[in-house]
Chains A and B, each alone.
Chain A
Amino acid sequence: MQKEYTVTVYTEDRIGITNRITIIFTRRGINITSLTTAETEIPGVYKFIITVMSTREKLDKVVGQIERLIEIHRAFVHEEEEVVYQELALYKISTKSLHTGDIERLIRENHARILTITADYFVIEKTGHQQELIDFIKKLEPYGLIEYSKSGRVAIVKWSRRFHEHLKDLQAKEAVSD
């Protein structure tokens, strides 16, 4: 059955690595719904967090084929309940509306915050799961939403400790061999 999965991939820092990963999804006709990547706490090792709608069976094979790539350390598929995750959204709203309605209550109740205010617009930041962030758009629309931008998923895997130790071991080994 198709559902949303989080795929995490640990990679070396190399030009084109995103392409190498994504073509494996493309081959099987799997659409990537979000992709977040940044360097991990270990210099030179990057983590990709990819969300997709697919089946476990397909993704287990995809992950095997991703792991086969030379510059990939490991790749994993996670079910919804195996990860703690968050997404971040920014909402730009016309400053004129600051004085209409009860925007203060809206921000307070939704655990959002104001990042900046200019004469023309102000920017609200909110973190949460995708649906909450989308629901918040609707709440802001009466105030004149000018622009909305949302990140992909940032996720922590509940059982990931062992892999991080493996990475740190690698780093220690590298340090010795250097």
Chain B
Amino acid sequence: MQQKDVLPMKTEIADKQLIVKPVITGSEAVIRSLIAEGVDTIFGYPGGAIMPIYDALYDFQDQVHHILVRHEQGATHAAQGYARSSGRVGVAFATSGPGATNLVTGLADAYMDSTPMVCITGQVAAALLGTDAFQETDVIGITMPITKWNIQVTRPEDIPDAMAKAFYIARSGRPGPVLVDITKNAQFGEFEYEYKKCEYIRSYRPVPELSNEAVAEAAALINGAKQPFILCGHGVLLAGAEKELIALAEKAQIPVASTLLGLSAVPVDHPMYVGMLGMHGNYGPNILTGECDVLIAVGMRFDDRVTGDVGSYASKAKVIHIEIDAAEINKIIKADVAVHADAKTALKALLQQVTPAEHPEWMAQFRAADKKEYDKVQHAELYPQQGELKMAEVIRLISEKTKGEAVLVTDVGQHQMVASRYYRFKNPNTNITSGGMGTMGFSLPAAMGAKKGTPEKEVVAIIGDGCFQMTLQELATIHQSQIGVKIVILNNNFLGMVRQWQQLFFDKRYSSTEMVNPDFVQVAKGFYIPGKKVSTRENISEAIDEMLAHQGAYLLEVVVEKEDNVFPMVPAGAPISAIRLE
């Protein structure tokens, strides 16, 4: 490995100051820009149009670590996992054409779930744009609706500015994915490099000004509330506002429920925490949304999985909506008080004006609902004595054995809902899942990224048998880069969630949902990853211990009940008060 210490320099005298700017290629400028933005890890896959950038990367291997994935989709999900666990911007590289189109799912996922990510794609030379050149695709056009911003760079001298803007936009305001498409001639071309971080774009206002009147109105509503209810969304984690939210809940004794992506912001064992919202959320938060008189929604967007039938949603409540993205306010649920602000800023201000209060009877309603759910659903799920293994008991054991402190990376489907319901999160940013998009295949690559982002933490991927087969090629990445993730496949040999819907709403017509699966342990073995298959209750505890004790990556296949259903459940489009316990 060769280190570029001596750079060709060009000097000039400007304003009596000696300015020394190195003359470098566009490719080197890309890498130097990444370093200037504090990037230490890149997930990517090389190819023709991005080769100059990979060549430049070769000289900086001691400063930026590149993880060679096995599919570009894996690079995006890994970058997402990295961003969500560490709070830093995730970075992915891909070449033009198919490399670029393979980023689409990950970009869309990151856009829906407000994940800061910068994707860099190579592009054919500027002179060839629009000519259907080899591996040319209009990635700017394709990704326009699924990125927070994208830009095509055709000249080397425009690279630093594009990179600076990309990082600023990705991480500021409501975070999101950004794509920078760089033509090959811009990568090869030389120019005088200078990097300035971007802190302002005149048409972009990422940090709204807090309205004191709105805060005062919100505080007045809360202070007069008999049955207030806080909904904690992803925005709380993104703003780092967990402490403020908890302080508010404690001061005015307000029950807090979490959205799927808001999980881990409030510890599950916190006395004010009442569970998860949504289609497969807890009974209490769903049923009592309809009873609260003031709803305080923080950093969330009223997804249809949370609201059910919008017309009957929170019908007795005045709604306070604290949200950084103005386009989300009044989009689904009309806000009586809209606080257009960063969650931390808003909650800090609100906290000062909210008076201490107690709502013991209101809280008791939640606890009564909890008991009902526990007796009807949870107990049998968590502590079954006979029959096949249940997903919930596996999650309970993992939760107990990791003390709720692992980073839990889940995929999409039944296992995701069960894991979200039963893992007892203790620390912020330890729940990583594909929420808005519901991208099957998310968790294996996302877990790799999460482990790279927070190597000190135990990272456990919980994956369904269907999901695993969508991105299992990343086992090779895990082996090559020695990423110590624990992989748990909850195998019911079915596309479980679709099967559950078929059972409940399509007359048990199991159309294309049963899976004849490979031997997952053998598959892992082929990738040099040790593993074990468990299908009985007496062996499960020991098998989880063995997995957690293992140094490095490990795959545990758990054969679970074939036709298990996730309850409670709100039928699609029904009012959330119609939540079914069985």
Known: A60-B330, A64-B326. Contact between A70 and B144, CB under 8 A? no
Complex CA distance for A11 and B327, rounded to whole angstroms = 17
- Among A15-23, A101-109, A125-133, A151-159, which stretch is in contact with chain B? A15-23
Complex CA distance for A67 and B169, rounded to whole angstroms = 15
B331 touches A64 (CB 8 A): yes
Complex CA distance for A173 and B201, rounded to whole angstroms = 12
Interface mask (A1-30 → B, CB under 8 Å = 1, otherwise 0): 000000000011001100110010001000
Interface mask (B140-154 → A, CB under 8 Å = 1, otherwise 0): 110011001100100
Q: Which residues of B contact A73 (CB under 8 A)?
A: 202-203
- The listed residue (B140, B201, B202, B325) touching A68 by CB distance below 8 A is B325
User: Measured between C-beta atoms, what is the minimum distance from A165 to chain B in Å?
Assistant: 15
User: Is there a chain B Cβ closer than 8 Å to A49's Cβ?
Assistant: no
Q: Which residues of B contact A27 (CB under 8 A)?
A: 145
User: Is there a chain B Cβ closer than 8 Å to A93's Cβ?
Assistant: no
B327 touches A68 (CB 8 A): yes
Q: Which residues of A contact B330 (CB under 8 A)?
A: 60-61, 64
Q: Max chain B CB contacts within 10 Å: which of A27, A70, A72? A: A70
Q: Which residues of B contact A72 (CB under 8 A)?
A: 203
Nearest chain A residue, comparing its CB with the CB of B332: A61
Within 8 A of B (CB), among A7-64: 11-12, 15-16, 19-20, 23, 27, 60-61, 64
A19 touches B326 (CB 8 A): no
B331 touches A70 (CB 8 A): no
Q: Which residues of B contact A15 (CB under 8 A)?
A: 152
User: Measured between C-beta atoms, what is the minimum distance from B55 to chain A in Å?
Assistant: 28
User: Measured between C-beta atoms, what is the minimum distance from B268 to chain A in Å?
Assistant: 33
User: Is there a chain A Cβ closer than 8 Å to B204's Cβ?
Assistant: yes
B144 touches A67 (CB 8 A): no
Complex CA distance for A14 and B565, rounded to whole angstroms = 51
Total inter-chain residue pairs, C-beta < 8 Å:
42
Q: Max chain A CB contacts within 10 Å: which of B152, B169, B202? A: B202
- Chain B interface secondary structure, helix, strand, loop or mixed? mixed
Nearest chain B residue, comparing its CB with the CB of A27: B145
A70 touches B204 (CB 8 A): yes
A68 touches B326 (CB 8 A): yes
Interface mask (B193-205 → A, CB under 8 Å = 1, otherwise 0): 0000000011110
A70 touches B326 (CB 8 A): no
A19 touches B144 (CB 8 A): yes
User: Is there a chain B Cβ closer than 8 Å to A81's Cβ?
Assistant: no
User: Is there a chain B Cβ closer than 8 Å to A170's Cβ?
Assistant: yes
A70 touches B169 (CB 8 A): yes
Q: Which residues of B contact A64 (CB under 8 A)?
A: 326-327, 329-331
User: Measured between C-beta atoms, what is the minimum distance from B37 to chain A in Å?
Assistant: 18
B203 touches A16 (CB 8 A): no
Within 8 A of B (CB), among A113-163: none
- The listed residue (B141, B201, B325, B329) touching A70 by CB distance below 8 A is B201
Within 8 A of A (CB), among B291-325: 325
Q: Which residues of A contact B169 (CB under 8 A)?
A: 70
Interchain residue pairs A-B with the least CB separation, the first 3? A64-B327, A68-B327, A70-B149
- Interface residues, chain A, CB within 8 Å of chain B? 11-12, 15-16, 19-20, 23, 27, 60-61, 64-65, 67-68, 70-73, 170, 173-174
- Interface residues, chain B, CB within 8 Å of chain A? 140-141, 144-145, 148-149, 152, 169, 201-204, 325-327, 329-331
